[in-house]
Structure 1
Amino acid sequence: MKSYTFEDMKKMNRTTLGDMVPLELFRTIRLIGLNQGLPMGGKSTTLTIGRKIGESLPVKTIDELLKIFTDLKIGIPRIIHKDERKLNIVVDDCFCKGLPTLEEEKMVCDLEGAILEGALSKMFNSKVSVKEIKCNVSGHEHCEYEVRL
């Protein structure tokens, strides 16, 4: 069976509907289908999916990774802290921006963090750990990830 690559995903032939789907469809799949429909909020599923996506991205540097996040409209990332063992990456305009704030402190952008983790682990050829520490749906002004190198 053929395995798809990131390059395969760029091949489009939708002459009427084009290459975009509405953000509300993506949100519905993520937050209703996976987060509400699977055990443990679908976390193990989104982490596995995100890491695989990250590993498949054609990036070799952190700058390329941040650029592809913007190009794919995942969000607008920027590094706010960097030392030899840790990075903090803020993602502005994340997919969850504008959703109602949840009453409980909840992080729903684990897929995006796992994409970062997969890409960075491949880039550094070692295990990298990424944890979402702020999320728009919890009332924070942006989503933020702590990256342990």
Structure 2
Amino acid sequence: MLEYTFEDMRKMNRDKLGNMVPLELFRTIRLIGLNQGLPMGGKGTTLTIGRKIGENLPVHTVEELLQMFEELRIGIPRVIERNEHKIIVAVDDCFCKGLPTLEDEKMVCDLEGAILEGALTKMMKRRVTVKETKCNVSGHEHCEYEIKL
């Protein structure tokens, strides 16, 4: 069975359309297709997908991971707290920025948290958990993740 790698994903051969797709398409896949189309908001699926993506990123430090987040235009991450047991990361300009605010404190950026979790678990060679604690669609100024090391 053929298994793709992150390096395979960087190979492009689209002469007319290039290497970008509209944010609306990504949002539609995530929020209408997965979140609204699958049981439990697609959480199990997005967590599995995100962890697998994270495991495949070519990063070896937290700094490289956060740099890759911005390079891939996932968002602009910044560490707002860090100690030996946890890291709190805020992500500005996340994919959900600008969407209408939802009333029920909904968090929709679980894929991004799972990407962090997969990369950090692989990097640290031990289980790391990541939980989204703030989200733009709930009215917060940025998305935020609590990473337990």
TM (norm. structure 2) is 1.00
Aligned to 2:46: 46
Structure 2, unmatched stretches of 5+, are none
The CA deviation at 1:67 is 0.3
Following the alignment from structure 1 to structure 2, what is the Cα–Cα distance between the partners of residues 62 and 148?
13
What is the correspondence of 1:62-141 to structure 2 with a 5 Å cutoff? 62-141=62-141
Give me the identity figure in percent: 77
Once superposed, what is the RMSD of the aligned Cα atoms? Answer: 0.3
1:37 is matched with 37
DSSP-derived class of the 2:40 partner: helix
Q: Secondary structure at the match of 1:90?
A: strand
Partner in structure 2 of residue 145 of structure 1:
145
Q: Aligned-pair distance for 1:103?
A: 1.2
Secondary structure at the counterpart of residue 88 of structure 2: strand
- Relative to the length of structure 1, the TM-score reads 1.00
Which amino acid counterpart does residue 11 of structure 1 have in structure 2? K
Unaligned runs of 5+ in 1: none
Q: Which amino acid aligns with 2:74?
A: I
Q: How many residues align structurally?
A: 149
Q: Which runs of 4+ in 1 moved over 2 A?
A: none
